[in-house]
Structure 1
């Protein structure tokens, strides 16, 4: 015959103490922003290099910039509500810097000079002036795409 073993009755003298709830994890905003800055700089270089290789912009590259920057901010920074906004701003900056880097590479190729020569003679302000003169509506659309994707990616990947 099998016996059914009963658990001991709770002692009414000692009340049951619930385990404390785990504190909400908010992440590390500094780490998230630092990771997003590094990702933005790497993405800007890649974006400019891709544009130089194919001699045009493509939306998927701007999406890739946004994903990379947003993922870095959200995954390493956590659920802080500042991080999606910071990721979006940094992604817009990365797409913009990528466009400037593309211009610098194109001017170096056109002038048959080194990239360092273009950067030292024109600087960022000279490249910015050149960019503003030739910017089209799609240039701004790519900036917005990168920011929008980074915002959404940061929100989705935060812990």
Structure 2
């Protein structure tokens, strides 16, 4: 139903706001006009400042990845150089390695979809590096075999791999992923 145009057959008895038009009525105000008191109205005397194109936090992804790799290397070496008497309870430090790697990735890298995956991978690599370093220390103390020190350390690591070690790798993977995602700045 459409209301008659003003002046054609007379005014409709309905108020103007209740009239229906088949075409958009012409506005009495200029385009872009916002009534005072409505959202979007500039405050009197307000002069907007020029903003930079960057509104969110600055991402430093390359620096974050470099620091995370350094944390992985240092954490793995520290894990591998721990005293041998603590070797059985040392696996639970996988979450500490994950946190050590996740902190620079999350804080400096920001909210990226790739960085939590990288955090999980680096945390598992830190645990692997730590276990291999521990085996290397044990093989070196016992004396290298005929095939060489790195090969013997890898063979001993494979021989001593238990189901609990796989659980620690799972903890490192999940911890690296979640901690990287949670430490990312949410601004």
TM-score interval, normalised by the smaller of the two chains:
0.7 to 0.9
The alpha-carbon distance between structure 1 residues 150 and 26, as it changes in their structure 2 partners (threshold 3 A), is farther
User: Does the Cα contact within 8 Å between 2:92 and 2:168 map onto a contact in 1?
Assistant: no
Give me the whole-angstrom Cα distance separating, in 2, the residues matched to 1:69 and 1:83. 11
Comparing both chains, which one has the higher relative contact order based on Cα–Cα distances under 8 Å and sequence gaps of 6 or more?
1
Are residues 1:10 and 2:44 paired? yes
Task: State the shift of 1:92 in Å.
Answer: 0.4
Q: Which has the larger radius of gyration?
A: 2
What stretches of structure 2 of length at least 5 have no aligned partner? 1-42
Task: State the shift of 1:63 in Å.
Answer: 0.9
Residues 1-159 of structure 1: pairs in structure 2 closer than 5 A: 10=44, 23-25=55-57, 27-50=59-82, 52-109=84-141, 111=142, 113=143, 121-123=148-150, 125-159=151-185
Normalised by the size of structure 2, how large is the TM-score?
0.64
What stretches of structure 1 of length at least 5 have no aligned partner? 1-8
User: Does the Cα contact within 8 Å between 1:43 and 1:98 map onto a contact in 2?
Assistant: yes
Normalised by the size of structure 1, how large is the TM-score?
0.74
Larger deviation, residues 66-75 vs 77-86: 77-86
Q: CA RMSD in A?
A: 2.7
Count of residues in Structure 1 that have an aligned counterpart in Structure 2: 141
Higher helix share: 1
